[in-house]
């Protein structure tokens, strides 16, 4: 009797291998053949789950974004007003998050010329900004931030900080270890207490 294959798990597994390869060599140099070899599958199996390289890349990009979202969700389940935890969940503070950022950075160039990748990128940015706004509103509801604060502007500032730190850490991780990223984050967030 043939064994059952969990197709969703197989797709995620292939995407995980793709993410590792993208982080190592960049999106342009990843081929279906190299991916299949690294995953221990034939190219036919990879092609069974993904119609083409583009579909595989989009799935990999989405999987990295979903991993970040899961980290943020875990923080907010514990404390809906944990702004520092939320921002730290987005920063490349460990190997997994660093790899996710390398994947996202690899796809930014694709997003410039590809409407589907561009829409995905815009959607992820907007969703993340809205999540940060929700945290800010929870802080205001708990007396940790002024109720009349400009939540949209603060969320934009913080997301810009996240992107800046992540880009620097992505290209020069030795100069941007986790403790330096946290230090810059805390310094930048210090004025928020003034707004209460």
Each domain of the chain, given as residue ranges in start order, spans: 60-195
CA distances from 64 to 69, 99, 109, 139, 162 (A): 9, 9, 16, 28, 16
**How do residues 15-52 score in pLDDT, each as one tens digit?**
999 999 998 998 888 888 998 899 888 888 888 888 88
The 10 Å Cβ neighbour count of residue 145 is: 22
Q: How wide is the angle at C-alpha 150 spanned by C-alphas 149 and 151, nearest 5°?
A: 95
The pTM is what?
0.87
- Determine the pLDDT at residue 195: 47
CATH value of 60-195 in 1.10.357.10, 3.90.1150.10, 3.40.720.10, 1.10.3720.10: 1.10.357.10
| Structure-token pair, residue 36 | 């299949």
Strand, coil or helix: 6:
coil
The 10 Å Cβ neighbour count of residue 146 is: 13
**How do residues 163-177 score in pLDDT, each as one tens digit?**
999 999 999 999 999
**Largest Cα–Cα distance of the chain, in whole Å?**
67
Residue with tokens 């490349």: 92
């Amino acid at each position: 009797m043939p064994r059952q294959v969990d197709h969703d798990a197989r797709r995620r597994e292939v995407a995980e291998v793709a993410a590792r390869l993208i982080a190592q060599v960049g999106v342009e140099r990843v081929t279906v053949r190299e991916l299949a070899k690294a995953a221990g599958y034939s190219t036919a199996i990879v092609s069974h789950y993904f119609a083409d390289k583009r579909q595989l890349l989009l799935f990999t990009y989405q999987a990295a974004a979903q991993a970040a979202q899961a980290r943020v969700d875990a923080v907010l389940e514990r404390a809906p007003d944990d702004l520092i935890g939320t921002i730290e969940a987005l920063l490349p503070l460990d190997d997994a998050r660093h790899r996710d950022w390398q994947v996202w950075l690899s796809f930014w160039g694709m997003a410039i010329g590809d409407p589907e990748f561009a829409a995905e990128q815009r959607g992820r940015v907007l969703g993340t900004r809205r999540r940060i706004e929700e945290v800010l509103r929870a802080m205001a509801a708990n007396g940790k931030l002024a109720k009349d604060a400009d939540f949209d502007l603060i969320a934009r500032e913080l997301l810009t900080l996240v992107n800046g730190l992540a880009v620097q850490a992505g290209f020069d991780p030795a100069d941007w270890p986790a403790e330096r990223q946290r230090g810059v984050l805390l310094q930048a967030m210090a004025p928020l207490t003034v707004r209460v």
